[in-house]
């Protein structure tokens, strides 16, 4: 991925969040299963496949490894020819038995390709060699792989799709359209029905940096309601997990400054084509890779992007956040969360009256009152 504009920084109005986490959320935090070490070991596994360049054997090995180790999902290869690449997205669906074409979908996504060149490497003789991609590629896949171990046992009442995109990271810095090729192809092939029922597309990319710091990203912009809904969910979940600076977490400790809403990063990544077709999508990404790195510097797109730069703790921060949101239903649209399907149909009418119904009721009440008054008066007059 690359920067969309220069690093843009806006002061955001801080969304109100509770200073202490609620007991409800904390009882869920207690049962989180995400194992950062498990995820971290998979980063080494991925790097050992070799550079996951579109069309390569390493790329195929990664797909096969993911499918074979997570058989509960219904896997499908999604091949396309784009930008000179024969690319292959990998899509896995976990669908409840009573699912219909209106059942909500949450998509968890990461790119699994690694970059074909290391244009930022300090050694000019090495800039045309492919990067290891431990963090840039490996970390996002690692978090999804560990989540995919846990999700089947959650028995969620909506669909979970895991999307591993290809050819995200092969672009050229002077042409924005050469990035996110796999995601673009996937987005363009979604039906309108599937777009409508996708409540959230959560993208993870470069979230393994041992020095993790994640700002809100755009798109979507600050005036996008669906983007605000998802980012507000992130903020509400981050406090109890100890990821917000100065906010007390469920264990009573003061949170670290991991998720930060004081500024925004503009990023061109796989969430962009999703937002373009109307899928609410947000990107979790730390574009400052390495201690004290500035935006799009550090180990990014160099041969230093190795497994030792990725930490189990950072992977766990993001993995636990996503898992907590899934268990709490936080990524779903609120209207879907209140189906009241089990309530008797008659209660539906009692909750809200349309203006027309209210008007009719009011008119009838007034007429009866007038009639009664008139009758009453007429009765009195007769007396």
Residues that bind Zn ion (CB under 5 A): 136, 169
Of 112 and 218, CB closest to Zn ion: 112
Sheet holding 259-268, edge to edge: 2-3, 259-268, 214-218
What secondary structure does DSSP assign to 267-279, as a single string?
Answer: EESTHHHHHHHT-
**Taking the complex as a whole, how short is the minimal distance between the CB of residue 131 and Zn ion, in angstroms?**
8
Of 120 and 216, CB closest to Zn ion: 120
**Taking the complex as a whole, how short is the minimal distance between the CB of residue 111 and Zn ion, in angstroms?**
8
40 CB burial (10 A radius; 0-12, 13-18, 19+): buried
- Which are the contacts of 64, defined by CB distance < 8 A and separation ≥ 6? none
**Taking the complex as a whole, how short is the minimal distance between the CB of residue 102 and Zn ion, in angstroms?**
36
> What distances in angstroms separate CA 63 from CA 54, 111, 333, one per listed residue?
11, 12, 31
> What distances in angstroms separate CA 4 from CA 142, 177, 185, 271, one per listed residue?
25, 11, 20, 12
Of 169 and 323, CB closest to Zn ion: 169
Of 136 and 199, CB closest to Zn ion: 136
**Taking the complex as a whole, how short is the minimal distance between the CB of residue 114 and Zn ion, in angstroms?**
8
Q: What is the crossing angle of helices 312-328 and 36-48, to 10°?
A: 120
**Taking the complex as a whole, how short is the minimal distance between the CB of residue 1 and Zn ion, in angstroms?**
5
Of 250 and 267, CB closest to Zn ion: 267
Of 24 and 119, CB closest to Zn ion: 119
Degrees, nearest 5: CA angle 304-62-83? 80
Of 37 and 173, CB closest to Zn ion: 173
**Taking the complex as a whole, how short is the minimal distance between the CB of residue 212 and Zn ion, in angstroms?**
17
Of 150 and 204, CB closest to Zn ion: 204
Tokens of 105: 């979908």
**Taking the complex as a whole, how short is the minimal distance between the CB of residue 263 and Zn ion, in angstroms?**
21
Degrees, nearest 5: CA angle 134-136-141? 75
Distance CA 367, CA 218 (A): 57
> What distances in angstroms separate CA 144 from CA 5, 35, 309, 316, 380, one per listed residue?
28, 12, 19, 11, 81
**Taking the complex as a whole, how short is the minimal distance between the CB of residue 207 and Zn ion, in angstroms?**
13
* Nearest Cα residue to 66 out of 86, 49, 54, 85: 49
* Nearest Cα residue to 94 out of 123, 74, 114, 122: 74
């Amino acid at each position: 991925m690359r920067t969309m504009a220069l690093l843009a920084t806006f002061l955001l109005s801080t969304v109100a969040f509770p200073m202490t986490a609620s007991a409800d959320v904390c009882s869920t935090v207690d049962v989180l299963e995400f194992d950062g070490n498990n995820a971290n070991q998979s980063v080494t596994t991925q790097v050992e496949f070799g550079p996951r360049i579109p069309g390569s054997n390493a790329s195929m090995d990664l797909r096969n490894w993911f499918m074979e180790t997570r058989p509960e999902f219904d896997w499908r290869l999604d091949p396309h020819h784009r930008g000179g690449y024969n690319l292959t997205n990998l899509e896995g669906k976990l669908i409840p038995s009573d699912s219909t074409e209106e059942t909500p979908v949450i998509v968890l996504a990461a790119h699994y390709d690694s970059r074909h060149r290391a244009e930022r490497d300090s050694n000019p003789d090495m800039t045309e060699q492919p990067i290891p991609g431990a963090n840039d590629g490996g970390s996002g896949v690692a978090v999804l792989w560990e989540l995919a171990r846990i999700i089947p046992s959650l028995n969620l009442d909506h669909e979970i799709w895991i999307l591993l995109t290809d050819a995200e990271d092969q672009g050229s810095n002077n042409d924005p359209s050469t990035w996110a090729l796999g995601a673009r192809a996937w987005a363009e092939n979604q039906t309108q029905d599937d777009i409508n029922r996708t409540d959230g597309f959560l993208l993870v990319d470069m979230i393994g940096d041992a020095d993790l710091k994640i700002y809100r990203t755009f798109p979507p912009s600050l005036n996008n309601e669906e983007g605000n809904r998802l980012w507000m969910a992130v903020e509400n979940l981050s406090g109890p997990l100890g990821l917000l600076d100065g906010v007390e977490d469920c264990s009573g400790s003061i949170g670290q400054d991991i998720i930060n809403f004081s500024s925004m990063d503009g990023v061109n990544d796989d969430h962009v084509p999703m937002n373009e077709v109307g899928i609410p999508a947000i990107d979790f990404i730390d574009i400052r890779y390495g201690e004290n790195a500035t935006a799009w510097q550090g180990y990014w797109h160099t041969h230093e992007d190795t497994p030792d730069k990725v930490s189990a703790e950072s992977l766990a921060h993001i993995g636990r956040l996503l898992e907590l949101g899934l268990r709490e239903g936080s990524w779903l649209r609120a209207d879907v969360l209140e189906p009241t399907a089990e309530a008797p149909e008659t209660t539906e009418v009692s909750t809200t009256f349309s203006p027309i119904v209210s008007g009719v009721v009011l008119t009838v009440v007034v007429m009866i009152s007038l009639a009664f008054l008139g009758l009453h008066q007429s009765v009195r007059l007769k007396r």
